[in-house]
Structure 1
């Protein structure tokens, strides 16, 4: 796997769960070292073992919230 973006960037990290299923962590990259990658997303802070990572990349910021519709 190539190097991760710098901390503070929005990333998606695909990794394997202990069951063997793949899942994604989407959010701000808080830190990354040789052992653990930490991503802060909607599910909270996810600590991902580096050896479980399949792929990782920087992604664009989330879209702006859509305005709520009001009843006429």
Structure 2
């Protein structure tokens, strides 16, 4: 059975930045990054920590998100 969130993931273009919430043992977790691959059973989200392959049957929510904010410049030490 396909959830509405999993159906949305099938429509979002590859390369779009997404957040996907899915069930794991003991609760829920999120994958944030670029939607890099998908097939009839899974989607792959490529983020900072590498690729996460998510079974579509475990997806509870998903949506496109804006690009990350630009990185801040490093702070200077006081007195420099």
* Bigger CA radius of gyration: 2
Q: What TM-score do the two structures reach when normalised by structure 2?
A: 0.82
Gapped runs of 5+ residues in structure 1? none
Greater than 4 Å deviation, 4+ residue runs:
none
Gapped runs of 5+ residues in structure 2? none
Alignment of 1:29-48 (within 5 A): 29-48=35-54
Q: What TM-score do the two structures reach when normalised by structure 1?
A: 0.90
Counterpart Cα distance in 2 of 1:14 and 1:34:
18
- CA drift of 1:34 comes to 1.7
The structure whose residues are more often helix, as a share, is 2
The aligned length equals 71
Alignment of 1:1-72 (within 5 A): 1=4, 2-4=7-9, 5-17=12-24, 19-71=25-77, 72=80
Counterpart Cα distance in 1 of 2:53 and 2:67:
21
